[in-house]
Structure 1
């Protein structure tokens, strides 16, 4: 093979390989969870969750207290329907170490 034909063949195979991988690779799935924003103020935790998806989502607020004798608390799970908003609140006696929200399919 002459050098110009070899370059053209390599370029053709590289282009076909690149087009083949981009056409076959599926897009990563987008998360289908409600969007939650949690605020801590002293010994109180409040989270606002909005579900902008077409499927329901069950959310639950968990709170870990600062002191060992102050038990951590969880709210009851709440289903957030499509285009709906919920507010969850929980507290400790003297202070919150951390607070987080878990999601489950509704």
Structure 2
């Protein structure tokens, strides 16, 4: 396992309950090692020609690259939005022991 094998997945949700529900399912299925749920996010965007200002929750998930497709599919399946924000970023460096833990937690 190298540090390049680990990624973070960023997701927004309409509420803390939705974010916790999705995150718990993903941890339980060992698709992610952990998730950080951050409340108090204000999102400003245009949807159907109208500027929106919504309260949201942001979730940062840590996993391995090989699980990305499954995580995206599961989030889309469980999410309340028709087009949820899901982005993936590589982890380019970090605490080696932590990254090994992420790898161990996400083994099938």
More strand by share: 1
Specify the TM-score bucket, using the shorter chain as the normaliser: under 0.3
Structure with more relative contact order (C-alpha pairs < 8 Å, separation 6 or more): 2
Per the normalisation by structure 1, the TM-score is 0.28
Per the normalisation by structure 2, the TM-score is 0.27
More helix by share: 2
